[in-house]
Amino acid sequence: MAAQTGGKYQFLGRSGLSVSNICLGTMTFGKAPGGHPAFSSPTQLDETKAHEILDRYAALGGNFIDTANMYCFGQSEEIIGSWLTKQKRSNFVIATKCRAKMGDAPNDVGLGRRHIIQMCEDSLRRLQTDYIDLYQTHCWDYAVPLEETLRAFDDLVKAGKVRYIGVSNVNGWQMQKIVDTAKSLGISNVISLQQQYNLLCRHSEWEEFQVCRNEGLGVMVWSPLKGGMLTGKFQRGEKPEDSGSRIGHVHKNEKTAISSCPAWSWYAEDEGYWNLVEIMKKAAANHGKSVPQVALKWLLQKNVVSSVIIGVTSIKQLEDNMAAGEDWCLTQDEMTSLDQATALPSTYPYNQLERMNTGRSNPYLSLPFVENVFK
């Protein structure tokens, strides 16, 4: 598992930053005007309910809060900011992101210097703080030179407005290029990758996580429950319209389906999915835990993962999810069953790399390819 500092806290990659192994995601804070599909679910929280979630998260020992400027177009950051003013700032690690379109002008989007600097200033104002612990790119930008992006982030670190740099939603070659470019420029390097990863989305194991493992980057996992598909609450043949869930909300209008909140139809007739649900239920029963806790624990037992980001809409959900970070483990047989039920197809060149390197490793080099990420 990832390097630990003790109890529920782990280092974020090889940095000296200690974070909760369960991070509170805040995309559910606020409600976007105009009914934006990503933030119009009936499960979105107003400030009062969001502050209740934040209070309980802190009481349970959580110190890591993740947001983004685009979440409800700044409302999420504002809600966190109004709560943060009533806390001891140094007790919490605040992470946010930039890149998304935040206005109608040509320079109101992307990872150019002008946009990055302005978005950082705007986030600091909304968060009511004078520094951001972890500032992250929200996605790769094909329109801006990487050197410009990284130098702008480095300048924010030098100015004391940002403590650490991270990235999100990139592919393998992009991740390696980010690391190598920062090294060649002699500037602040990234310490983390925030990536979708769950039992139904494992493709980052092939490339991106290999870079993270070899370079010492911590992985922050988003959508660990695949928008609710890994909660075990749904039954075969029963449509989720009236479940009060995001999946149910999307089911009524599948045009709004996205990777983190999939359409019910994507899995309704998938035998592999229902087999996975049964394996998860069995493991949950073995440990006296819930199905979501099994899905989260599977992630926490992957050695590349530093923290798992949860998105909750109630205190009950929060407490259940946080319990996944406590001191209990899935057995090796259970991990193997879950791994095998959701295994990626063995395809070239990965199958040949694995076959020709079986049993071949050097303890003085970075840990070998498959076994140290997938187990």
Q: Give CA–CA dist 164/154, Å, rounded.
A: 9
**312-316 contact pairs (CB < 8 A, 24+):** 312/24, 312/28, 312/53, 313/28, 313/43, 313/44, 313/45, 314/53, 315/52, 315/53, 315/56
Burial class (CB in 10 A: 0-12, 13-18, 19+), 351: exposed
Residue with tokens 């995309």: 27
Helix then strand count (H, E) for the chain reads 13, 11
Contacting residues for 148 by C-beta, under 8 A, at least 6 apart: 111, 112, 113
Token pair belonging to 221? 């996992």
Q: Is 9 annotated as catalytic?
A: no
Q: Which of 57, 71, 164, 197 is catalytic?
A: 71
- Residues carrying an active site annotation: 71
